[in-house]
Amino acid sequence: MADVRDVAKYFISLSTETTKFAITPLKLQKLLYYAQGYYLRETSNPLFNDDLLAWDHGPVNRTIYDEYKRHGYYTIPREPFDDSLLTEKEKEIIKNVWYEYGDLDGKTLEELTHQEDPWLFTKKNQVIEKELIKKFFSEQVEHALVR
């Protein structure tokens, strides 16, 4: 199982700072949620053990929030990443999520998560249960990552 910090750093390593493929803290949080969902769908296991919380702006991992909040609404600078810290399957799912959602901004991703059951059915500031995420993504045939 991956460390949530490594998953975040891998997403950041895929970003391009001055384009629509830049990553802000808000966007990073939503990408982590989608990566967790698709990984649960594909493997029945979580990508990372850390919880996602149902905050006002959608699913949030507290560890990553604390680490990147200093960037506010601004782009997180790209940083090198040792991708040997992740398995091939982990990298495959993360890349697929990036290809599917990487060109969307954080606000658009927030709006998407606000329409999805895991966030809708979890009380504010509570843990979004991994089983709820898994169930939702497993039922979303039309959102299958096919790349």
Provide the pLDDT for residue 140.
Answer: 84
Give residue limits of the domains in the chain: 4-143
Instruction: Please indicate, yes or no, whether the overall pTM of this predicted structure exceeds 0.85.
Output: yes
Distance, in Å, from the CA atom of 42 to the CA atom of 144, rounded to the nearest integer, reads 10
With DSSP H G I counted as helix, E B as strand and the rest as coil, what are the percentages for the chain, rounded to 5? Answer: 55, 5, 35
**Digit-coded pLDDT (tens) for 72-119:** 999 999 988 999 999 999 999 999 999 999 999 999 999 999 999 999
**Digit-coded pLDDT (tens) for 22-72:** 999 999 999 999 999 999 999 999 999 999 999 999 999 999 999 999 999
Provide the pLDDT for residue 137.
Answer: 96
